[in-house]
Structure 1
Amino acid sequence: MNEKEALILKLIKEDPFISHFDLAAKADLPGDRVAGYISSLMKQGKIVGRAYVLPEQRQVLCVGGANIDRKIWSKGVLELGTSNPAESSKSCGGVARNIAENLGRLGSGVSVLTAVGEDHEGHWLMEYTRAFADVAPSEILKGHSTGTYTAVLDQEGEMTVALAEMSLYDSITPEFIDRKWSYFASSDFIMLDTNFPADVLNRIIERCRKENIQLCITPVSSPKAKKLPHDLLGVTWLIANKDEAEAISGIKIETEGDFFRAAETIIHKGVEKVVISRGDKGLIYFTEKGEAGVLIPPAISIIDVTGAGDSLVAGIIYAHLNRIQTEDACKIGMACSILTLQSIETVNPILNNQQLLETFKQNFK
């Protein structure tokens, strides 16, 4: 922002309803120059919309998927090729949306940038999510169906197969992101999943790097992780599971040492901090500053694994925003994940600051 832009922004902050004529007079500038500076300030996210509306500060912007989660539980040992007795449920899901809800329940200021279809499911997703996050950045796309994710779980609550129908995300373009950039620029921290096309992911990573905006990436799956560019310079956190880390690093992970080799390779791509989850074996973390460690989770009874990875990411972001060091941030992420594992819901409805603190103390102190 140059000196004249700073002056115009100061005048608008003092009087958001100031006229274009008065702006030109007080800034000692011709009207067309004022219009140019206003346009530049809007592109930077310093002001939004007409009448010089100043943006609300959004602590975290979660960018990516919001869809309908369908879960089907087998009542007994799952047998392929035949009918299995089962129960089912439907809930709001999507990686970015789930993380936003977790953060919202923890009291963080959070907004969601996603796309849903112009259908009953899309409207339901937006209405439900609005209770925990600002959904103003999101878009309802005409002629598209809202994405769905169907998980089949065995009698132990472990996922055996999942089916995703999310073709509407293919319609998201870099130009769509540019139009929405004021929401990025007015946020402290961006959380990005990999549901959007590769060129869109690349645009977000590039612009966050150039504008020095903190960015956390969590891949949705191993195939979608491959959409990430080779250059990840400027990414603050990358949080992945074993399969996703293999896809990003190109390293086959078979031993504990392989986890750290994969993490180090990802660090060399430009990421500051890498976390690789290992299911019931916990996680490893590795940073550009040489911090490294293994965290083993406590033994707990698991009701449902769906959403556990999303809550891990939310807990780590929550801790990071509260300036908590890497190891303890990962422990807080694991505590958040434990709460999800002990709930039938994708986001545990009892989650709040106090519940997270109690779970952390019970398991990591």
Structure 2
Amino acid sequence: MVNDGGSYKGSIFQRCGGVARNHAEALGRLGCETTLLTAVGNDDLADYLRTKSTVFDISHANIARGISSATYMSVNINGNIVHGFSSIEESIASITPEYILKKELLIAETDYIVIDGNLSENSIKRIIDLAETHRKKVWFEPTDIAKATKILKSDCHLKIHSISPNANEAAKLCEALGYESTQFSQFESNLSNFMEQETVSKFLENVGELRMGFDLFAKNQKLSNVFITLGALGILGIHHDKRTDKVICFPIPPPSAGTKKIVSVSGAGDCFNSGFLASQLYGHGFEQSVQIGRECAKESLLTINAVPESLNCIGEKLMENLVEHVHTEHCRH
């Protein structure tokens, strides 16, 4: 795009987004009872958001009068975000520690908490403290390179169960914790072919992000999953296998769209997280949960919506498998 003041042809879409909201919708479509704690303005954008929030509970949102609901505009070319412009600060600032404390009963009754890195450090700490009090698991999604290190305040990173930074966010965490980060071009050079196992293994031995990940597992006994998303290269996963009490590292290939055209990558990571988490909450194993996450990410790539309605079908399959599993277990006794 040239900065010449001209007008250019394109397509404009309005849709709901936001990391926490995307997770809430995806988990809701996958059959999980989900509540979104957020803030909205008293405006038409908030009304639009409510009309689109049919699969999760948004009734506990803080209504911040006098400010606009959080808005983000992206310029996409061939499905990839080229520029992004956000107006979210005022709305996010109204998600205060005091507001969160008022929702302690909801937190106490939940099975799992997903934190959006847009929140203030104090609000993140309040959620972590309440989760620890009520023995709840927490997933931290860093959201942005400028916000990735918020989780380090008061050693909150040592109290979470899962974290899912992208490569740039992981690099920021590495540097903040004293590790040498890895240039993304090095990931591209060494992980472009997952079949070359010797090359991949040798490269991973020297990746600072992995050293950081393994050290986090040693320091945080609650930590179970670190997913470093690498765009078209897939995901670098680090997992604590409770069965063997070993921490394992492995690359997760990207989902294949086959002959279908990728429409937008926005939301794919959120859908992977939600698919993985929903599968875990249904009681499925780690490997199957990863596959469910990949399937959800693939569905997101094929639509303009960050969270596609087709996740409903995946949710139905998860529930069917759960019923079948419970029935089988019952027959064994």
Unmatched segments (≥5 aa) in structure 2:
187-202, 241-245, 319-333
Q: Does the aligned pair in 1 maintain the 2:274–2:293 contact within 8 Å?
A: yes
What is the CA distance between 1:186 and its match in structure 2?
Answer: 1.1
What is the CA distance between 1:356 and its match in structure 2?
Answer: 8.4
Q: Does the aligned pair in 2 maintain the 1:111–1:133 contact within 8 Å?
A: yes
Tell me whether 1:261 sits opposite 2:211 in the alignment: yes
What is the CA distance between 1:97 and its match in structure 2?
Answer: 1.0
Tell me whether 1:284 sits opposite 2:207 in the alignment: no
Taking structure 1 as reference, are residues 179 and 355 closer, same or farther at Cα in structure 2, changes over 3 Å only?
Answer: closer
The SS at the match of 1:291 is: strand
Tell me whether 1:127 sits opposite 2:51 in the alignment: yes
Unmatched segments (≥5 aa) in structure 1:
1-78, 359-365
Q: TM-score, normalised by structure 2?
A: 0.78
> How is 1:214-225 mapped onto 2 (pairs within 5 angstroms)?
214-225=137-148
CA-atom RMSD in angstroms: 2.0
What is the CA distance between 1:269 and its match in structure 2?
Answer: 5.4
Indicate the structure (1 or 2) with the bigger Cα radius of gyration.
Answer: 1
d(CA) in 2 for partners of 1:298 and 1:306? 14
The SS at the match of 1:91 is: coil
CA offset digits 1:168-197 (Å, max 9, x no partner): 212332121111111111111111111111
The SS at the match of 1:287 is: strand
Equivalence for 2:265:
305
Choose the corresponding residue for 1:158, options 80, 88, 95.
80
Taking structure 1 as reference, are residues 354 and 200 closer, same or farther at Cα in structure 2, changes over 3 Å only?
Answer: closer
Equivalence for 2:14:
90
Equivalence for 1:362:
none
Tell me whether 1:103 sits opposite 2:32 in the alignment: no
Q: Which structure has greater helix proportion?
A: 2
d(CA) in 2 for partners of 1:335 and 1:322? 16
d(CA) in 1 for partners of 2:171 and 2:217? 14
d(CA) in 2 for partners of 1:200 and 1:263? 24
The SS at the match of 2:22 is: helix
What is the CA distance between 1:243 and its match in structure 2?
Answer: 1.1
Q: Does the aligned pair in 2 maintain the 1:202–1:229 contact within 8 Å?
A: no
Q: TM-score, normalised by structure 1?
A: 0.71
What is the CA distance between 1:285 and its match in structure 2?
Answer: 1.1
RCO higher in 1 or 2 (8 Å CA, sep ≥ 6)? 2
The size of the alignment, in residue pairs, is 278
The SS at the match of 2:251 is: strand
d(CA) in 1 for partners of 2:182 and 2:108? 37
Tell me whether 1:295 sits opposite 2:255 in the alignment: no
Q: Does the aligned pair in 2 maintain the 1:107–1:353 contact within 8 Å?
A: no
d(CA) in 1 for partners of 2:304 and 2:316? 17
